[in-house]
Structure 1
Amino acid sequence: MGISFAPPRLEPFGPVVLAGLQRSHRVDRDRKEIGLDISAQWHALAAVAGSLPVLPPRLGYGVALHTPEGANRFDYFCGFPVDGLIYVPAELVALALPRLTVAVFEHHEHVSLLHSTTELIFATVLPMAEIEPADEDTCPAAFIQRYTERFDPATGLGGVEVLVPVKV
């Protein structure tokens, strides 16, 4: 089963304030272990986010932050949009993303294959489409995972998009 994409669509995104959890993950580990750690991070968020005043629709966001060249760790943030910094409870952190233009890719496979989708987007799809990703001076996010209301956490399927901030 191969991963395929429709041509990316460009759309505006943000600004948005997200409330959630941010953790560092080592890159020298097996992808399955990293995936399990990120899944555990989402479960930890779910345990504390019940009273979070999330804006409708209830979208979840996973954000891979830019990593310095040669680093053996990456930071991953998972969270939900809130109406502003004052709505971020003390047990969570805030991530403010500016207004961006993003290339949007739909992910139709199991959520555990997001790493393969993301690698293919950056290695092949963006260069072929002559789209250049934004750098960290423009946006803290290397890419954003958007979990729509169609996403089923029980099966890991449906309603996932990968948003790549791009230079315009």
Structure 2
Amino acid sequence: MIPNNIQAIEEPLHLGCLVKKYAIPGKMDLTSQWIEFLRYFPKLKSGNLSMTYGVCWHISDDEMEYWAATKVNPADQLPSEFEHRSLKAHEYGVFLHEGHVSELSNTVDAIFKGWDEAYEYQPDFNNRFFFEKYGPSFEPQTGLGGVEVWVPVIKQ
């Protein structure tokens, strides 16, 4: 499997995040986390609902964080339940997720288990995260459309 394209984030991406920790393996209640995120969303000064992010940050082999997030100004005051986080400038392999959002883990598994080792870009395992980007065509009511998975990459 190879990315649909390679894109660079030229400057750090500043995010306002509702952060939750999850055990690996374990049940991740991401739906409740997103519902909570949306409840606080009106309090975000510069947030944009047409572009949200789900960041999977691996803390260790048995624990990860999931950030329900939107781009914000680093100077914004956030609700007390939120944290400022940022993703560094880097190159990313971008994969389109074609199915329902509940099937996103299948796409992620296919990316990491089926990466073409001959491809000129490889996952950058020095970065222990990837993120989901929910664009303007994503329909939260149906769980369909406009979802990409971004994986940090390095050129071989």
Question: Within 2, Cα distance between the matches of 1:124 and 1:159?
Answer: 22
- Is contact 1:61–1:80 with CA below 8 Å preserved after alignment? yes
CA change 1:112–1:24 in 2 (3 A) is same
Q: Secondary structure at the match of 2:66?
A: strand
User: Unaligned regions of 5+ residues in structure 1, if any?
Assistant: none
- Alignment partner of 1:25 is 2:22: yes
Distance across 1 between alignment mates of 2:137 and 2:117 = 29
Which of the two has greater helix per residue? Answer: 1
1:46 paired to 2:38? yes
Contact 1:82 1:88 in 2 (8 A): no
Residue in 2 that maps onto 1:78:
68
Residue 150, structure 1, aligned to residue 140, structure 2: no
Match of 1:65 in 2: 57
Distance in 2 of aligned mates of 1:88 and 1:80: 11
Structure 1 counterpart of 2:83:
93
Residues in 1 aligned to 2:129 and 2:119: alpha-carbon distance in whole angstroms: 18
- Given that 1:9 and 1:104 are in contact with CA atoms closer than 8 Å, whether structure 2 keeps it comes out as yes
Q: Is the 8 A contact 2:40 2:79 kept in 1?
A: no
Partner of 1:164: 151
- Cα drift, residue 55 of structure 1: 5.1
Is contact 2:16-2:85 (8 Å) kept? yes
From the two aligned structures, give the one with the greater strand fraction: 2
- The root-mean-square deviation of aligned C-alpha atoms, in Å, is 2.1
User: Unaligned 5+ residue runs, structure 2?
Assistant: none
